[in-house]
């Protein structure tokens, strides 16, 4: 009888360990995001939207000409405008859709390049450091590196990904809700084309 209960207790411990391990991995492993893709009928540009676990992300393709116009308006040197246009640039809108405190850090976001290597998303701070070396003091347009969102808070700005224009890639993004870590992966994102498709 004693041996029977020892076996039962050992099985319960094993089950508990499996459950706890599963919960831990679930909190930190990237799940495929439920991505909605909208095509603008006038421009054919795509918007990728995903919402889950209290965090909404929207990425909007931006044409190189648009990016050029934004920075030319603020008197950026041509070399710096050309350099940012070697990146895929998306207009980004992120929102806290939960009833909890939300935090994010772009430095924890990543993507897989064409060689299968994981790369970090370039942050606003990294761009500003490079711009200051070129004598540029402008600091707007880019998505802030990090944020602490109360209920209903949101943020917007450009997100830049160093990928060839004809590539498709996956973006893994992370956030926390009341200190609990979450992550998701937007799949098959694509840079904006060089020009708007003509009908």
pLDDT tens, residue by residue, 19-63: 233 322 333 345 556 889 999 999 999 999 999 999 999 999 999
Same domain as 17, residue 94: no
Give the residue numbers spanning the domain of 20: 1-29
Q: How far apart are CA 55 and CA 57, in angstroms?
A: 7
Indicate the number of domains in the chain.
2
Q: pLDDT tens digit string along 113-123?
A: 888 999 999 99
147 in a structural domain? yes
Residue 199 domain flag? no
Q: Indicate the helix (H) or strand (E) that contains 105.
A: strand 102-105
Whether residues 113 and 163 share a domain: the answer is yes
Q: Mean pLDDT for each 10-residue chunk of the chain (199 residues)? A: 36 31 35 81 95 96 97 96 96 98 98 93 97 94 97 98 91 96 95 80
Read off the CATH number of the domain in which 161 is found. 2.60.40
> pTM for the full model?
0.82
Is there a domain that residue 21 lies in?
yes
Q: Is residue 168 part of a domain?
A: yes
The answer on 57 and 83 residing in a single domain is yes
Question: 18-37 burial, b if ≥16 CB within 10 A, otherwise e?
Answer: eeeeeeeeeeeeeeebebee
Distances (CA, A) of 1 to 5, 13, 14, 28: 7, 19, 20, 41
Sequence-ordered list of residues with C-beta below 8 angstroms from that of 77, at least 6 positions apart, any chain = 134, 135, 136
Domain-embedded: residue 137: yes
């Amino acid at each position: 009888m004693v041996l029977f209960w020892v076996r039962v207790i050992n099985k319960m411990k094993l089950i508990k360990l499996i459950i706890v391990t599963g919960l831990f991995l679930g909190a930190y492993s990237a799940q495929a995001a439920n991505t909605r893709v909208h095509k603008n009928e006038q421009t054919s540009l795509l918007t990728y939207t995903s919402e889950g676990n209290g965090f909404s992300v929207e990425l909007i393709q931006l044409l190189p000409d648009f990016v050029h116009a934004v920075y030319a308006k603020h008197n950026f040197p041509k070399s710096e405008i050309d350099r940012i246009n070697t990146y895929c640039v998306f207009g980004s809108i992120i929102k806290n859709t939960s009833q909890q405190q939300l935090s994010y850090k772009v430095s924890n976001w990543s993507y897989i390049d064409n060689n299968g290597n994981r790369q970090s998303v370039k942050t606003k701070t990294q761009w500003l450091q490079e711009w200051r070396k070129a004598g540029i003091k402008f600091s707007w347009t880019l998505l802030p590196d990090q944020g602490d969102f109360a209920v209903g808070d949101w943020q917007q700005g450009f997100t830049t990904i160093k990928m060839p224009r004809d590539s498709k890639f996956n973006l893994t993004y992370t956030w926390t809700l009341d200190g609990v870590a979450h992550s998701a992966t937007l799949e098959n994102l694509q840079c904006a084309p060089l020009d708007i498709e003509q009908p």
